[in-house]
Chains A and B, each alone.
Chain A
Amino acid sequence: MIELIVAARCTGCNVCVKVCPTDVFDVSDNGPPRIARPSACQTCFMCELYCDADALYVGPDCAASGAVEEQALLAQGALGRYRRDSGWGAWSSDPDHSNEHWRMELVFALARALDSADTPPR
Chain B
Amino acid sequence: MERDALIYEADVLVIGGGLAGTWAAVAAARAGATVILAEKGYCGTSGVTASAGPGHWWVPPGKRAEAVAARNARAFGLADTSWMARIVETTWESIPRLAGYYRFSLDDGGAPRHRALRGPEYMRAMRRYAEDSGVAILDQSPALELLRHADGSVAGAAGYARQRRRPWQVRAAAVVLASGGCAFASHLLGSRTNTGDGLLMAAEAGARLSGMEFTSYYTVAPAWSSMTRSMSFAFARYFDAAGRELPIPPGQDATRTLARALLDGPVFATLERMPAEIRAVLSRISPNFLLAFDRAGVDPFTQRFEIALRGEGTVRGIGGLRIADRACQTDVPGLFAAGDAATRELIAGATSGGGAQNSSWALSSGQWAGEGAAQRARMLGRRANRRVERIGGAGLRSGAARAASEQETAALIDLIRDENLAYDKNLFRSEEKLTRSLAKLDGAWSEIRSRSAPSGAASLRLREIAAMLAASRWSGRAALARGESRGMHQRTDRPATEPALAHRLIASGLDRVEIAADVAPQTKVA
Point out the residues of chain A lying under 8 angstroms from B139, CB to CB: 18
CB pair A22–B193 under 8 Å, yes or no, is yes
- Which of B41-49, B169-177, B315-323, B382-390 lies at the binding interface? B41-49
User: What is the predominant secondary structure among interface residues of chain B facing chain A?
Assistant: loop
A97 (CB) vs chain B CBs: closest residue: B284
A98 (CB) vs chain B CBs: closest residue: B284
Binary flags per residue of B280-297, CB closer than 8 Å to A gives 1, else 0: 010111111011111110
Given known A21-B41, A46-B51, contact A104–B120 (CB-CB < 8 A)? no
CB pair A111–B291 under 8 Å, yes or no, is no
CB pair A44–B226 under 8 Å, yes or no, is yes
CB pair B45–A101 under 8 Å, yes or no, is no
- Partner-A contacts on B (CB < 8 A): 40-42, 44-47, 50-51, 53, 55, 103, 105, 107, 113, 115-118, 120-121, 139-140, 162-163, 187, 189-193, 224-226, 231-232, 234-235, 250, 273, 275, 278, 281, 283-288, 290-296
Alpha-carbon distance A60/B189, docked complex (angstroms): 12
- How many A-B contacts at CB < 8 Å in the complex? 141
A13 within 8 A of B: no
Alpha-carbon distance A31/B117, docked complex (angstroms): 36
A105 within 8 A of B: yes
B298 (CB) vs chain A CBs: closest residue: A60
CB pair A20–B42 under 8 Å, yes or no, is yes
Point out the residues of chain A lying under 8 angstroms from B296, CB to CB: 60-61
CB pair B41–A100 under 8 Å, yes or no, is no
CB pair B118–A78 under 8 Å, yes or no, is no
A122 within 8 A of B: no
Point out the residues of chain B lying under 8 angstroms from A96, CB to CB: 284
Point out the residues of chain A lying under 8 angstroms from B115, CB to CB: 102, 105
Given known A21-B192, A110-B275, contact A104–B53 (CB-CB < 8 A)? yes
A99 within 8 A of B: yes
Interface residues on A, range: 35 or more
Point out the residues of chain A lying under 8 angstroms from B120, CB to CB: 46, 49, 86
Alpha-carbon distance A118/B286, docked complex (angstroms): 26
25 chain-A/chain-B pairs, Cβ below 8 angstroms: A18-B139, A21-B47, A21-B50, A22-B41, A22-B193, A44-B51, A44-B190, A44-B226, A46-B51, A49-B120, A50-B45, A62-B187, A62-B224, A62-B225, A82-B288, A82-B291, A85-B283, A85-B287, A101-B118, A101-B285, A101-B286, A103-B278, A104-B285, A107-B232, A107-B278
Alpha-carbon distance A98/B287, docked complex (angstroms): 10
Binary flags per residue of A3-30, CB closer than 8 Å to B gives 1, else 0: 0000000000000011111110000000
**A102 → chain B closest CB, angstroms:** 4
CB pair B231–A108 under 8 Å, yes or no, is yes
- Partner-B contacts on A (CB < 8 A): 17-23, 40, 42-46, 49-50, 58-63, 78, 81-82, 85-86, 96-105, 107-108, 110-112, 114-115, 119
Alpha-carbon distance A104/B282, docked complex (angstroms): 9
B295 (CB) vs chain A CBs: closest residue: A60
**B487 → chain A closest CB, angstroms:** 21
Alpha-carbon distance A17/B115, docked complex (angstroms): 32
CB pair B273–A100 under 8 Å, yes or no, is no
Alpha-carbon distance A96/B120, docked complex (angstroms): 19
CB pair A63–B224 under 8 Å, yes or no, is yes
CB pair A20–B45 under 8 Å, yes or no, is yes
Point out the residues of chain A lying under 8 angstroms from B41, CB to CB: 20-23
**A90 → chain B closest CB, angstroms:** 15
Alpha-carbon distance A17/B162, docked complex (angstroms): 12
Point out the residues of chain B lying under 8 angstroms from A21, CB to CB: 40-42, 45-47, 50, 190, 192-193
Complex partner residue of A100 from B45, B47, B284, CB under 8 angstroms:
B284
Point out the residues of chain A lying under 8 angstroms from B162, CB to CB: 23
Alpha-carbon distance A96/B280, docked complex (angstroms): 11
Given known A107-B278, A111-B234, contact A101–B53 (CB-CB < 8 A)? yes
Alpha-carbon distance A115/B235, docked complex (angstroms): 9
A57 (CB) vs chain B CBs: closest residue: B295
Point out the residues of chain B lying under 8 angstroms from A58, CB to CB: 295
Which 4 residue pairs are nearest across A and B when measured between Cβ atoms?
A21-B41, A111-B234, A102-B113, A85-B287
Point out the residues of chain A lying under 8 angstroms from B46, CB to CB: 21
Alpha-carbon distance A40/B40, docked complex (angstroms): 13
CB pair A86–B163 under 8 Å, yes or no, is no
Complex partner residue of B225 from A61, A98, A100, CB under 8 angstroms:
A61
